[in-house]
Amino acid sequence: MPFCMSCGTEVPPASGFCGNCGARSVGNADAAARPAVSAEQVLFNQNGVFVSNSRYITAGQTYAMAGVTSVKMFVEQPSRTGPVITMILGGLLILGGLESLMHGNPLVLLVGVVLFALGLWIFKKRVPIYSVLLHSASGEQKVNQSTVRGFIEQIVAALNQAIVARG
């Protein structure tokens, strides 16, 4: 049996008004016309990151999807100037060391090879950092930084799905 929305009294289904306060009662037709509350739909849940159609939780921070206007992946390229300079210096020492090697002194060549190898190793170790760039009415924020591009792409795809599902 339905209840009065004003005073909470039980109202017979056939009656259109509450017998206690006189307010119009909500019948079955009115209940069907009201929008149904949709259940939360989980779109992504991995490594401490949770995305549903209504919220985004990461690193102890919760974002309401209603406030998110857009999302994209942001790529931050590391500076590789230092390793390149080290490799150039090592290459120059290798060239100079070839001449000193003819005179019986392999030390300059050895230092050049070590510097070049060190520069190359550092160059390869510097990888891009991928982030989720979240836009809302209060501005933009970089969240969920990772060196794994696929992980960030999955989060961005789930967030875009949540924005579409929100309507």
pLDDT of residue 44: 93
**Mean pLDDT of the 86-105 span:** 87
CA distance 59 to 132: 13
- pTM for this model (two decimals): 0.61
**Mean pLDDT of the 127-156 span:** 92
pLDDT of residue 102: 79
Burial 100-125 (b: 16+ CB within 10 A, else e): eeeeeeeebbebbbebbeebeeeeee
121: helix, strand or coil: helix
pLDDT of residue 117: 96
Q: What pLDDT band is residue 165 in, cutting at 50, 70 and 90?
A: confident
Residue that wins the pLDDT comparison between 97 and 118 = 118
CA distance 89 to 107: 15
